[in-house]
Amino acid sequence: MSGEHTLLSTEIVNRGIEASGPDAGSPTFSVRVRRRLPDFLQSVNLKYVKLGYHYLISHAVYLATIPVLVVVFSAEVGSLSREELWRKMWEETSYDLATVLAFFSVLAFTIAVYFMSKPRPIYLVDFACYRPSDDLKASNAEFIEMARKSGKFDEESLSFQSRILKSSGIGDETYVPKSVFSTGNCATMKEGRAEASMAMFSALDELFEKCRVRPKDVGVLVVNCSLFNPTPSLSAMIVNHYKMRGNILSYNLGGMGCSAGIIALDLARDMLQANPSSYAVVVSTEAVSFTWYTGRNRSMLIPNCFFRMGCSAVLLSNRRRDFRRAKYRLEHIVRTHKGADDRSFRCVYQEEDDQRIKGLSISRDLMEVGGHALKANITTLGPLVLPFSEQLLFFATLLHRHLFSKPADSANAAATKPYIPDYKLAFEHFCIHAASKAVLDALQNNLELEDRHMEASRAALHRFGNTSSSSIWYELAYLEAKGRVRGGDRVWQIAFGSGFKCNSAVWKAMRRVRRPNRNPWLDCVDRYPVGR
């Protein structure tokens, strides 16, 4: 039970003066118990560290063979002077045509096998983020007032949503579909299609214009939207709208939560590896109107407060000639799935309430479940990205803890906490999914990040709200608008979502990224960062 208590936080809430009953006129209080993010310093699962090293070795065998060959060659050649080496090569050695041809044939074959087995580099040519029109802006006060006028909520539900918004970290310029505040039902296929079309086509129009690519040039299309999955699919809507070619490889991912954007990247990468000289487009969005909840269940009212309109469109390429114009190269993708655990599986769950009103239920275990998924993901990612010195310290303390610490000896276990690597040494920029202010605060404390590392995530949450799987692209757009991305910088995108999943993508900047002419932040970036 002691371990369980460390994951709980308590808060005394003043509920005001009791209006009626035997306690009328007296102040009343309640104790609110919340789960918080688990402390990463307390435990690190060795199997995820081993998985990271497995990825490293399986994809980089040459790291182990090349040093051996260099040492052997150096030992053989190092004892000879330049004159002796030249004499052995040309004067004391006789060559015939067969020997020379055999040598060059083996050399050519070895080089060909190396380049054929080497994964193709995946380039991010450019990306675009949807910027809704200003008439869809809604401040927090306007949000509550329009919700009240819609007649869909009672005063208790409105009061609850107002309290959530005050501590959410969301500003007064986010975008909400007008249909959610209408008196009728907004969760219809018509409204969902209208919202998705507006967001996706706007982002794609900008992407094709920026990259100077025709829609017919795209060979792979991957669309992800968690909660709105019509028939025909969203990917089919895009193919129809842009009249794309008939042999396009199109995929539609649904029900995969806010981390689906990185899953879509992973799928697009695999498709590009199998199809040379191709373009792939990844579209990430969510339909707010189709997921709008009008009941009284508090756990299902929370998504109303956080989710806002947003969409991103990304152009990937495996064409070597795109090396010169691409912004980033994809380095790593690491995916973690905790769905085998029942609590993880149900912590974000779409269902119907007691009145059979559909909504998205958020469990109180979300922080704890998300923390465990994040811990598994970053310990797998660590061996792929961390400097050798950090890996050595981490691995040494981890082995000491597992070999010499007894589970029952809490004092000894505390004295041998595993060394948590400094991820600030591996990445220059962090794009952490802007779920909520509480989540970002907890992640900053656990990963020991500075305010500047969290700036993009907090700014995206404040300006655009939680835009689900596209939020990490609004954050990267923020960094570009600030002019902070330089050649060689590594960007860590990390997102988590229902299932429960935590996924990471690592990009390396090909060159300094200049401030773009089209960007959702251009008219407001100078107002950020805002105070916490």
- Of 87, 198, 180, 170, residue with least CA distance to 460: 170
Peptide bond preceding 529: is omega within 30 degrees of 0, i.e. cis? yes
Annotated catalytic residue, options 129, 225, 258, 431: 258
**Rounded CA gap, 418 and 40, in Å?**
9
Annotated catalytic residue, options 229, 297, 337, 524: 337
- 3-state SS class at 344: helix
Question: Residue 33 forms beta bridges with which residues?
Answer: 10
**Rounded CA gap, 335 and 342, in Å?**
19
Annotated catalytic residue, options 140, 466, 503, 519: 466
DSSP string, 84-124: HHHHHHHTS----HHHHHHHHHHHHHHHHHHHHHSPPP-EE
Annotated catalytic residue, options 462, 502, 503, 519: 462
Radius of gyration of the chain (CA): 27
311 in catalytic set: no
- 3-state SS class at 281: strand
400 in catalytic set: no
Two structure tokens written together for 482: 């600030």
Beta strands in 264-376 (DSSP E): 279-285, 311-317, 328-337, 348-352, 358-362
433 in catalytic set: yes
Edge-to-edge strand list for the sheet holding 218-224: 249-253, 218-224, 279-285, 311-317, 123-129, 328-337, 501-509, 490-497, 429-432
462 in catalytic set: yes
Annotated catalytic residue, options 318, 429, 453, 503: 429
**Rounded CA gap, 381 and 331, in Å?**
11
453 in catalytic set: no
Annotated catalytic residue, options 140, 305, 347, 433: 433
DSSP string, 156-225: HHHHHHHHHHHTS---S-EE--GGGGSSS---SHHHHHHHHHHHHHHHHHHHHHHHT--GGGEEEEEEE-
**Rounded CA gap, 173 and 180, in Å?**
17
466 in catalytic set: yes
Contacts of 437 (CB under 8 A, 6+ apart): 167, 168, 169, 458, 461
Tell me the helices (H) and strands (E) count for the chain, helix number first. 18, 15
Q: What amino acid occupies position 144?
A: I
**Rounded CA gap, 518 and 295, in Å?**
39
Active site members = 258, 337, 429, 433, 462, 466
